[in-house]
Chain A
Amino acid sequence: MSEVNPMRPYLGTLVGTKPLATGIRLFQVELNDPEEREKFSVWRPGQFLFFSVLGVGEAPFGFANIPDPQRGPVIEVAINKVGHVTRAIHALPLGATVGIRGPLGNYFPLEELKGQNIVVLGGGIGGAPLRPVIQYILRHRDDYGHLTIIWAARSPDLLVFTDEYDEWRSAPDTEMHVTIDRPAEGWTGNVGLITEILEKVAPSPENATAITCGPPIMIYFVGKTLGKLGFSEDQMLTTLEARMHCGIGKCGRCNLGEKLVCKDGPVFWQSEISTFLESFL
């Protein structure tokens, strides 16, 4: 039964970690078993996994990268130290054995969006599940139109993946805007909420899709602003998070009305969210 037990994690090894922002680190995991590695290597932007510290517990996180043909399927997740599992993850030494379950959930329909202009809006650690979107588009750069990246955080020390901004900015037909909520010492860039800079940048809704991830309240207000700019709810994609214990529609934990974040999501069109019976806020 071990082949098909969805509650049993694959064993992996922590092969790398680096700080991303205050309280947030990137963790790189490689699965131990070559067969399992092969089976696992097909995840898509938007999907998520369960990360176990064996003996402490497991918690769900979005993939922060796409499988890399050069480096092999190293799994990357960005993890904020907020609960008891994440505290244990942050304390792991390199080489530690960890558990991984997944890939789980649906994904951003990037194949369907070919030929379109893409606006990516990430707030705080919400930027992490959007990094695979950016990586995917940059890898298939010719398949997509103009790429606008708007990246936000409460303060400069909470911006994630700062060392990759130059690479993203310099990609063809790509623009990037970074903003922080309030002025901070030494910060010379944009100051203001993500919605303010979004209004200023004012990407055209023409043949475009906006992809947002951040705290629920940000998703709500970014949706309003995109609406003002002429985006319809069928041009807005987002990804939600919820407490969950299985990731496969059994534990009953993550429902918003009849929708299960794990199974029907985590990626949703704004048009779906706005008809949710129960608020995601």
Chain B
Amino acid sequence: MIEDIRALARELLEKGAVECVIGYEVGPTGRVRPAFVYEPGEVERLIFDGRCDQNLVTYLTRRNKPRKKGEEVPTTAVVVKPCDARSLRVLLNEHQVQRDKVYIIGVACPGMQNADGTPELRCTRCDQRVPLLYDALCGEPPEVPTVRDAYEDVQQIEALPLEERLAYWLGELDRCIRCYACRQACPTCFCSVCEAERDDSLWVGIADRIPEKAFFHIIRAFHQAGRCTECNACEAVCPMGIPLSLINRKIAKDVAQMMGGYRAGESDEPTPLVTMLTGEEAIDEIH
């Protein structure tokens, strides 16, 4: 599969169809990381395997703006797994990314692995092996058993008595340092000024105290309602190891229950929870 990706990347760069290919590479210390390839001669850097769990779609909103006023938006190719494709679908629905400025290199996903070689939990709940949208598909889709996400992790927390649930979250959020890595890594968190960072502290002050931290995470979760594709990027980057996905998955579960099984990023329809007025299609901020 990697030879297909490299060949495609080389071709796209050689004929100038894209400015850059975003994929994965192995850094000098052996860690897998996002790679931005601008030269056809550098496509050998690209790799793809079970370690490539980052959601590269998060880089697209940033690249979908002109560098300087009046300049044209460059076209970017991006390696997209089935889960990542759902994030991209949300961004396309919300007009954050122009479809003709993205070349989607879809990959047939083998499922991602933990550092110890075991399958990532989120992948054991997923039966999508081919992205919902792509311009080219690389790799042969492996056979996977049909699985259904029963939200067992969420149910476990839901089953706790209220006091225990509160104590659990206060304990977890106490460690939050407000680094905003969860928000920055999230493909669908793209407000130009976050409510948590307004100069006037209208919603949240600057303090690193539990009320402020809880409020930030709750605001973020509600703004992700019906939009979060459960890609786990927030949790994967958290330097304090807070199980942030649980918050978003709780809402995703409720949305699915209430909205007839709605799952974000699976259709062209924007989420039923976001109201868009005419002329507001290109949202700058989610409220």
A residues touching B (Cβ–Cβ < 8 Å)?
Answer: 83-84
As a 0/1 sequence over residues 7 to 34 of chain B, the CB contacts with chain A under 8 angstroms (1 = contact) are: 0000000000000000000000000000
Count, chain B residues at interface, CB 8 A: 2
**CB-nearest residue of chain A relative to B202?**
A84
B residues touching A (Cβ–Cβ < 8 Å)?
Answer: 199-200
| Distance, CA A83 to CA B200, complexed state (A) | 8
Shortest Cβ distance from residue A82 to the other chain B in the assembled complex, whole angstroms: 11
| Distance, CA A84 to CA B199, complexed state (A) | 7
| Distance, CA A84 to CA B200, complexed state (A) | 6
**CB-nearest residue of chain A relative to B200?**
A84
4 contacts between A and B (CB under 8 A): A83-B199, A83-B200, A84-B199, A84-B200
| B contact residues around A84 at 8 Å (CB) | 199-200
| A contact residues around B199 at 8 Å (CB) | 83-84
| A contact residues around B200 at 8 Å (CB) | 83-84
| Distance, CA A83 to CA B199, complexed state (A) | 8
| Distance, CA A111 to CA B199, complexed state (A) | 39
| Distance, CA A84 to CA B202, complexed state (A) | 10
Shortest Cβ distance from residue B271 to the other chain A in the assembled complex, whole angstroms: 32
| Distance, CA A210 to CA B111, complexed state (A) | 67
**CB-nearest residue of chain B relative to A59?**
B199
| B contact residues around A83 at 8 Å (CB) | 199-200
**CB-nearest residue of chain A relative to B198?**
A84
4 nearest A-B pairs in the assembled complex, by CB-CB distance: A84-B200, A84-B199, A83-B199, A83-B200
Shortest Cβ distance from residue A53 to the other chain B in the assembled complex, whole angstroms: 12
**CB-nearest residue of chain B relative to A243?**
B199
Shortest Cβ distance from residue A59 to the other chain B in the assembled complex, whole angstroms: 10
| Distance, CA A195 to CA B199, complexed state (A) | 34
Shortest Cβ distance from residue A231 to the other chain B in the assembled complex, whole angstroms: 31
Shortest Cβ distance from residue B269 to the other chain A in the assembled complex, whole angstroms: 38
